[in-house]
Amino acid sequence: MTSIPEALLWCLSAGTAAAVVLTATVVRARMQSADLRQRLTTSEGQNTASLQTSNELNARLRAVEAEIQHLAGARLPDLSLALAHPHVPVRGLLDARFAGTGTDLALSAVLEQTGAAVTKERERVDAAAQSTLRGATTTIQALLYQLQTSLQDMQHRYDDPGIAQDLLAADFLNEQALRRIQATGVICGAWPGLTREDSYLAELVVGASSRLRGYERVQVSNQLRDPVAVVARAVEPIAITVTELLANALHHSHHGLPVAVTLQQGNRGASVIIDDYGVGMHADELQRAKELLSGDDQLLFTQLGDPPRSGFAAAGQLVRQYGFGVHVEPSPYGGVRAVVYIPGDPLLTVLDESRQPMSVMAPLPHQSGAPDSRHTPLPSRTAPVTAHAPLPSRTAPVAAAAETSVQALAEEYGSAPGESADGELPRRHRRRAAADVEQSVPRAEPSPARSPEENASRWAALQQGTESGRAAAQPPYSPEAPHRPEPPRTPEPPRRPEGNALS
C-alpha cells in the first residue's frame, strides 16, 4: 500500500517538473516572439526613414541640376549682355531655398569668374583694336594734313576765282575727313596731332565752327572783358571739343535754326556756352552724354555703337587729359545747352593785341559803355573828343583818324569842339548833305558781328585786289601770248581765313 502513494508522488513530481519546463519554454518563446516583433518594427522604421532620406536627396539633386541649367541658360547670357549694357539686370536663383547656401556661393563664384574672364578678354581685344586704329589714323591724319597744306598753297598760287572756289570746296571736304579721323584717333589714345601757338578764345571758336557743314548758322557773341587766349598745348584739344559739341547742335536742329554761342569770362576762367533750338535729349541720353563727357570711366571702343558715335567720347578723353570741363543740360530754348569751362590756371592767358592782333573773322567783344559802331553818333559839341574813354589798343589808329576827321568837320562847319568865347554854344551851318557827313566819319571800331554775305564780299574784294596787283606786275599784252581773263566771280565765304589761329 505504500508503493502506490510513492508512485503517485513521483508522478506528481514528474508532472510538476514537466509543467515547469513547459512553462519556461512557453515564456522563452513568447519573449523571443516579442523581441522578433520589436526588431521587425525597428527595421520597418529604419527602412521608412531611409526611403524618406533617399527621396529628399533625389529632390535636392534635381533642384541643383535645375539651378545649373538656369545658370547656363539664363544667368550667364544675362551677364554677357550686362557687361556690354550695364542697365540690363542679371537674374538670380531659380529656387530661393538655396539663398546663402553652399550652392548659391558656388554659382555666384562661377558668375564672378566668368565676368572677370569676359571683361579681361574684351579689354584685350579692344586694346588691340585701338592700337591698330591708332596707327592707321595717325598715318591717314598726316596724309590729310599734307593734302590740306597743298590745297592752301594752290589757293594762294592760282588767281582764277573759279579755281579758288573749287579749291575751297575740296579743302572743306578734306576738313570733314580730317575731323572724323582725328576724333577716332583721340578715342584710341592718339595725340590730337597739331601743335599751335597761344590763340584767342574767340578765334578758336570761329575756327572750330569753320570745320562743320552749316557753319553759317553758328552765331558767336563775344562777352569777354579781356583778350583771353588759350595756351598752346590746349588749343587743339579745346577746338576739337567745341567742334564736336557744335556738330551735335547743328545735326539735331533744323537747318533753318541758328546755334547760339556765347563767350563768357568769370573770375576763375572762361566758358563757351552753346545753345541749340533742336529736339533735345531724353533723361537717359543726357545721363549717357554726361558719363561720356566726364571722362571718368575707361572707355571701350566697342561701346560706342555701330557705327561708332565718337563725338562725346573724344571730348571726354580730352577732358580727362587736359583738365577742362564739359557739361550738358536741357536748354531754355528747348534744345540742349553745352558748356565748356576752361580754368584760368593753367589753360588761359591774356595776349597783347598790339603784338598779336586778333583775326578779322573773330567776333569783337561787347564792351560795356562802348557805342555800337553801326550807330555811331557824332561827338558832342559841348565836350572835347579827348574826354571820351580810351579805346582798345587795336582800335587806336581808327580812333585817331576819327578824331582828325571830327576836327576837320568842325572846321568845315565853322566852329571848333567846345563852347565859344562868350559862353554860348556855337551854331552849325550845314554845308554838306547829312549822308556825306555820315560817310566821312570813320567808325570807331569794327562791327561786332559780320554776316556770311559780308565775309564773302570781303574775301572777294581781297581776291580781286590780289588779281589786279599781280596783273599790274605782269608784262604788257602781246599777240604771241594772248590772255583773256574771265570776269571775277564772288567765291564762297572762306572756311579758315588768313590770320585765324586755327587756319
- Which residues share a beta bridge with 273? 262, 339
Q: pTM of the entire structure?
A: 0.61
pLDDT at 410: 43
C-beta neighbour count of 428 within 10 angstroms: 13
Cis peptide before 479 (omega within 30 of 0): no
Q: What share of the chain is helix, strand, coil (3-state, %, to 5)?
A: 55, 10, 35
Worst-scoring range by mean pLDDT, 26-40, 240-254, 259-273, 406-420?
Answer: 406-420
d(C-alpha 425, C-alpha 224), whole Å: 40
Higher pLDDT, 303 or 383: 303
- For residue range 302-312, list pLDDT tens digits in order: 788 778 888 99
pLDDT at 195: 79
Straight-line distance from the first to the last Cα atom of the chain, in angstroms, rounded to the nearest whole number: 163
- For residue range 449-493, list pLDDT tens digits in order: 555 556 666 666 666 666 666 566 555 444 444 444 444 444 444
Give SS3 for 269: strand
CB 245 within 8 A of CB 261: no
d(C-alpha 199, C-alpha 176), whole Å: 22
What is the spatial order of strands in the sheet that 199-200 belongs to?
199-200, 228-230, 348-350
pLDDT at 396: 41
What letter does residue 74 receive in the DSSP assignment? I
Q: DSSP for 427-492?
A: PP---S-HHHHHHHSPPSS--S---HHHHHHHHHHHHHHHHHHHHHHSPPPBTTB---PPPP---P
- Which residues share a beta bridge with 119? none
Write down how long the chain is: 503
